[in-house]
Amino acid sequence: MRFRNVVTSAAIALLTFFGVLYAQNPLRLDRPGPASFKQWPAIEYDNFPLPPDWNQKADWTRARLRYPDIYGYPNNPQVRMRDGSAFPGYWTMDYPRSDRHLLQGVRRLTLIDTRSVEQVVSLDGTDEIFNWPMLYAVEVGHWRLPADEAGQLREFLLRGGFLMVDDFHGSNARDHDQGINEWENFTNSMSLVFPDRNIEDIPDNDPIFHVLYDLQDRFQVPGAQYFDTGITYEKGPTGKVPHWRCIRDDQGRIIVAICHNMDLGDAWEVSDEPRYPEKWASLAYRIAMNYFIYDLSH
């Protein structure tokens, strides 16, 4: 994996960032600024410590999508955690430890002026999501977008936004411990977003794999379940092969990057644990850097 000219790529990316942001949400004197930072309850972490510079202003950060899921979050108060607390939603998987580690990686591996904390955003009908051009959604095998949220996500993407989805596995409900087909759940909602756009495999020579690092040789990035099972895949035989897929706009630009049968979020989350192999964590970070630079420079 060859490292390209970080200075040039990052400079182009930052210049492009402001153009993309303006295209998404043209300046209006009556438009409020971006929402302030808020840390949400999560499945795995409670009261996760904030970095010392969490409130330092920066030009960029990666947003995390808060979405409704198949178990009724956020409108079903009967769904509870084992301790009796309210279920925080599948969108919080790995949050916020994974996000904080990843953003430290952006600082180390690029010249993007990033904040040290993520931004949680919702498809709530306001303009807020348009302040955050890079969007990440995890466990999308559990999401369930209603028509209005699907419509706003479509508008976000067609106005220059980028969505990266990750950590969903398999396509056979019989092999799933919850009896669900995660690929089908993902595509059911995505077909509401783009009923007229196909999901396609990303070819090895696509610019997204070469804009910063050359990622010709890729492999499955397992989740932390590997610690307990010693198995690199999840949800049965249909979860064995990693798929690098996308949806493109009319100009051929990737606007949805689909990471199926891999868990980059876990790799960022546990990248500081010696028992997690370096080669998996390293690839997870390189993929993210390429996707971010691609978004900012295309």
User: Which CATH number does the domain housing residue 41 bear?
Assistant: 3.40.50.12140
Find the Cα–Cα–Cα–Cα dihedral 69, 255, 1, 9, rounded to 10°. -130
Question: What is the reported pTM?
Answer: 0.90
The pLDDT confidence band at residue 77, using thresholds 50, 70 and 90, is confident
* Calpha distance 284→198 (Å, rounded): 25
Q: Would the pLDDT of 15 be above 90?
A: no
Q: Which residues pair with 292 in a beta bridge?
A: none
Q: Say how many Å lie between the first and final Cα of the chain, rounded.
A: 21
* Calpha distance 81→71 (Å, rounded): 12
pLDDT of residue 81: 87
96 near 45, Cβ under 8 Å?
Answer: yes
pLDDT of residue 107: 97
- Give the mean pLDDT of 182-208: 98
Token pair, residue 55, equals 């409130």
Indicate whether 261 belongs to any domain.
yes
Indicate whether 199 belongs to any domain.
yes
Indicate whether 248 belongs to any domain.
yes
Indicate whether 186 belongs to any domain.
yes
pLDDT of residue 33: 63
What is the number of domains present in the chain?
1
Indicate whether 1 belongs to any domain.
no
* Calpha distance 188→281 (Å, rounded): 30
Query: What is the average pLDDT score of the chain?
Result: 90
pLDDT of residue 7: 40
Q: Would the pLDDT of 23 be above 60?
A: no
CB-CB neighbours of 269 under 10 Å: 27
pLDDT of residue 219: 97
CA-based nearest residue to 9, from 207, 297, 210, 215: 297
Range of the domain at 286: 6-297
